[in-house]
Structure 1
């Protein structure tokens, strides 16, 4: 908005060209049907001289960026995240500009609370700071609108689904929070494998004031039974967390919920964590999971071993809460046993030592946690010969101080 003296001496409240564009989109965004979000965005981009606009959404396997279909949006095949300009924009959360015959192809991340929904791409004759500012603001508005509309449409889900998905996986994806969150003091990123057939694994997190709550679970079994148990467990975790009880009480509440709903031999392994983002004080309870790993200066320095309690559903005693003080920049890696116990027929298990080696190679200062988590999961899967007979989940947390 242009604000300055007006002819009558009052402030100038006339709209700038940029405000007309953004304001027009914002004024109607709440009433846009989901399938009109893309065309409305394409119309705005056309008005600033943009050509071949695309909204590229991350597929559930986190391997490609898929063009959203719609009037005014350019068609095209899915773009691989690895080795492409759009993928580089996605992984770094920074704009990428590529000279082309027609001008400049600009890629801008679609960011919503640090979660990477995808990439906005458009070709312009030339790019200056005014165009960059407008595209940055427009992409932020588009990301928020897509996130809001996603709650009552299948359009974006269908676009992101790169292959057939099991019913159990559909249930699990409906449970999940955004795969990534980046805030000034803390960042979180999670990955589920196999993305289209996951059943018993899940994770959850919530940032309430200065406190970040996290949980990683692995329900026994496969298919719908495991997905149902995971649903009850995550629901119980959220209910207990929202009543502001301590970690040990959260475990007991989850334990009772599973024990009351399922047979005595059914159980869920779990980790519940609580991070004070103001001080770096991390507390956790381990109920049958591999110990989390502390990454400092981008190398694994120790396993966070702690007293463990029985898996959820077995009626364990009130657990002991463990605690560690983090340094700014420290990262915590939580994972389920499927990540390290997988092995090819007749071969040894993948093991924690190999996991540590890969973390030390891939975790670097210039890489955001969502890029590290994604690449780590995919690299580990390739190292296992693409074999995944069990769910494999990892959750990476960075305390920024």
Structure 2
């Protein structure tokens, strides 16, 4: 036993209720089959006094929250993200509590690196700060466990799939990183439409130390041909990025990869960016894409025009790298041409001016990039009459300083 002045420093190693609750899940998480993750969480919540446990996962169209099936989990119809308490929790990434006649319905976000997997919903007779802390930690552990298990099950994919999905879309979704990432210095959010039939559009990003790498591509054509080209382009981008070469060399590597695999008239437009999250220095190369928009103080202040090179696959010269220094809070909106070139009901193109108008309406103070990107994509979809003849993809990046 410690003696003297160190005696009162001996830590208390006894197991508390909260530790037993979390430890019981953590000790066995590695061995849980995917379909037992939800029931194990429901059992832990029941020991806390919770009932009517739901794990609500976002569908691929980012319209609804779908209950995960499992023993001890509450079923029910999908909930709309817009207009529901669970949806408000999902969009704000903050807990939402609703008073009921027989208790309190608590909604806790399921966060994965800033991405929103969904919402944990639980009913308690009453809720205090200890309950909130334990539920928050249970939700974090459940999210990490589902993310780990997702690599070897179709359970979560099937839950999130709200309608039949094309083979091309299956390929594209398997390529994508998480739709959103929120870190202290930088945040990213992307949306692909039509979610269940996307083919040639894709994006990719990686945060390596202080540097955020991001690419957006649009492969020509539709269906499997476009999805195959997009797969090659993204694979080449990742390979070049991971060898730490410059942006101009990344373009050349992607160009060779596409040219070697496809006919001379096949191409991929691309936009590649590199952001130093310590200084705000943004560099980019444009290979046939619409110029990104710089959003400052919730207004589009300029288009990031730059010398453009030929689309990937056409054998363009080494491109010129453009550069700008961002201010804290600045956002960059990248998008494919399908977002602005669609014709609504035989009318003229939707156009970039309308896109800018909607940015000004939807990019408001205290709204995160994930909510803004989702609302912008869905609003533009409704403005086009809910139909599109081309993929329409956007990515929003925020330098937080």
Alignment of 1:254 with 2:254, yes or no, is yes
Q: Residues 29-49 of structure 1: CA distance to partner in whole angstroms, max 9, x if unpaired?
A: 010000000000000000000
Q: Distance in 2 between matches of 1:386 and 1:9?
A: 65
Match of 2:216 in 1: 216
- Partners of 1:185 and 1:386 lie apart in 2 by 35
Using the alignment, how far apart are the partners of 1:9 and 1:226 within structure 2?
64
C-alpha distance in 2, partners of 1:313/1:40?
50
Q: Distance in 2 between matches of 1:11 and 1:49?
A: 29
In the alignment, what sits opposite 2:348? Answer: 348
How far 1:8 sits from its partner (Å)?
A: 10
Question: How do residues 58-97 of structure 1 correspond to structure 2 at under 5 angstroms?
Answer: 58-97=58-97
1:235 paired with 2:223, answer no
**Unpaired segments ≥5 residues, structure 2:** none
Deviation at 1:253, TM superposition (A): 0.2
8 A Cα contact 1:340 1:352, kept in partner: yes
Return the alpha-carbon distance in structure 2 between the equivalents of residues 326 and 358 of structure 1: 22
Deviation, 1:79, is 0.3
Between 312-321 and 344-353, report the one with greater CA deviation.
Answer: 344-353
**Offset of residue 7 of structure 1:** 10
Secondary structure of 2:272's match? strand
* Secondary structure of residue in 2 paired with 1:263: coil
Unaligned runs of 5+ in 1: none
Distance 2:341 2:8 in 1: 75
| 1:121 corresponding residue in structure 2 | 121
C-alpha deviation, 1:101, in angstroms? 1.1
Name the residue aligned to 1:332: 332
Aligned to 2:280: 280
Take 2:81 and 2:157, find their aligned partners in 1: how far apart are those partners? Answer: 18
TM-score by length of 2: 0.98
| SS of the residue 1:320 aligns to | coil
Q: How many residues align?
A: 397
Match of 1:180 in 2: 180
Deviations 1:321-374 (A, max 9, x none): 000000000000000000000012420000000000000000012111000000
Aligned pairs (5 A) from 1:130-169: 130-169=130-169
* Structure 1 counterpart of 2:98: 98
Answer whether contact 1:45 1:53 (CA < 8 A) is retained.
yes
Which secondary structure does the structure 2 equivalent of 1:347 belong to? Answer: coil
Corresponding residue of 1:301: 301
1:394 matched residue in structure 2: 394
Aligned counterparts of 1:8 and 1:355: Cα–Cα separation in 2: 64
CA contact (8 A) 1:6 1:12 kept: no
Q: 1:343 to 1:8 in 2, by over 3 A?
A: closer
Q: Cα distance 1:53–1:7, how it changes in 2: closer, same or farther (>3 A)? A: farther
Give the 4+ runs in structure 1 shifted more than 3 A: 5-10
Q: Quote how far apart the aligned CAs of 1:97 are.
A: 0.1
User: Contact 1:343 / 1:387 at 8 angstroms: preserved in 2?
Assistant: no
Classify the secondary structure of the residue corresponding to 2:31: coil
